[in-house]
Amino acid sequence: MQPTEVARRYIEAWNERSPTAINEMFLEGGTYTDPVTRGALTGSAIGGFAEGLFQSFPDLSFEITSNAESATGVVLEWTMRGTNTGSLSGLPPTGARIAQPGIDVIRVSGDKVRSVRAYFDRQTMLDQLGLQVVVQPHQVGPVTFGTSTRLRSGSNATPGAFSLTMVDARSDEEVQEIRMYARRTILGMPAMPGFLTFLSAVVGRRLYTVSAWAGPEDAHCVMRDQAHKEASSEFLRGRLGSAFLSSIWTPHHISARWIQCPSCGRVTGVKEGERACACGLMLPEVPFW
């Protein structure tokens, strides 16, 4: 069988969206590598990787746009298309449709694939999905960098309590698993009594949350959330994270809210329910929490 024919059968297995058929195209010990696999995959891990993509893009397909054959293999140029209707790396689906160009360097032995090295621009995919890309170092000296998320209820009430949590993950994969539980939890938080705002941060493999509530009794509402219960159970069984802290704090002092008047430029300290500047203009509504 000619290498080009083997390569086309390999692409057909992807277009059938069959992890089993993809696995069967590889020789025993055959490898697959692309920019997101973090090294070479072999055996059932190849099909598992493909299955994850099919869950993220249920209509995933590849169109071969050119090919070049050598004595031992084939170089295929392709366009991958699909609609992101499933979670991708723990992120919620965006619903965006992608048309991602890329190249496969495929080594063939007989009628089987010995190795596939796929190349594509991850930035193009992220842009098409509408995802943010944060470029920063992991750490500089004693400073560790990360990312954050905020959810607001729309209320500007003064908090009567704050709940704080910290979780240490054991791997990057576990960070994503914990974030998945957190996303499920925060979706239900706006409907919880007394909820004001939620802030989360991921710094290295440590995850933090800070939530503002009308009162200390309201902060306990999140404990009844199903995803929160599942995550807590996994941690207590030793299946998730290596350390965990949860606490509820009441404010010692909250100062006035200082707002600059867009008309006269005066900075005015206002208390809850106040919005008037000395010049008579109503100050803008500023979300403090």
Q: Any idea what the Cα angle at residue 231 is, between residues 229 and 235, rounded to 5°?
A: 115
Question: Is the pLDDT higher at 63 or at 139?
Answer: 63
pLDDT tier for residue 84 given thresholds of 50, 70 and 90: very high
The tens digit of pLDDT for each residue in 102-111 reads 999 999 999 9
pLDDT tier for residue 72 given thresholds of 50, 70 and 90: confident
For residue 108, the cross-strand partners are 113
Percent of the chain with pLDDT over 90: 75
The predicted pLDDT at position 255 comes to 86
The first and second tokens of residue 101, run together, are: 């160009």
The predicted pLDDT at position 87 comes to 85
- What does the mean pLDDT of the chain come to? 92
pLDDT tier for residue 247 given thresholds of 50, 70 and 90: very high
Rounded Cα distance between 30 and 41, Å, is 8
pLDDT tier for residue 275 given thresholds of 50, 70 and 90: confident
3.90.1580.10, 2.40.50.100, 3.40.640.10, 3.10.450.50: which CATH number matches 3-129?
3.10.450.50
The predicted pLDDT at position 44 comes to 95
The predicted pLDDT at position 257 comes to 85
CATH class of 144-249: alpha beta
Q: Which residues contact 14 (CB under 8 A, 6 or more apart)?
A: 22, 50, 60, 61, 62
Q: Return the number of other C-beta atoms located less than 10 Å from residue 18's C-beta.
A: 16
Which of 257, 73, 267 shows the shortest CA–CA distance to 159?
257
pTM of the model: 0.69
Kind and range of the H or E element at 21?
helix 19-24
The predicted pLDDT at position 287 comes to 73
The predicted pLDDT at position 16 comes to 97
The predicted pLDDT at position 172 comes to 86
CA count, 13 A, side-chain hemisphere, 246 = 8
Q: Which residues contact 81 (CB under 8 A, 6 or more apart)?
A: 59, 60, 61, 62, 63, 97, 98, 99, 100
Residue with tokens 């200390």: 216
Domain ranges of the chain: 3-129, 144-249, 255-289
Instruction: Kindly state the average pLDDT of the residues 262-273.
Output: 87
pLDDT tier for residue 189 given thresholds of 50, 70 and 90: very high
Rg of the chain's alpha carbons, rounded to an integer? 26
The predicted pLDDT at position 215 comes to 96
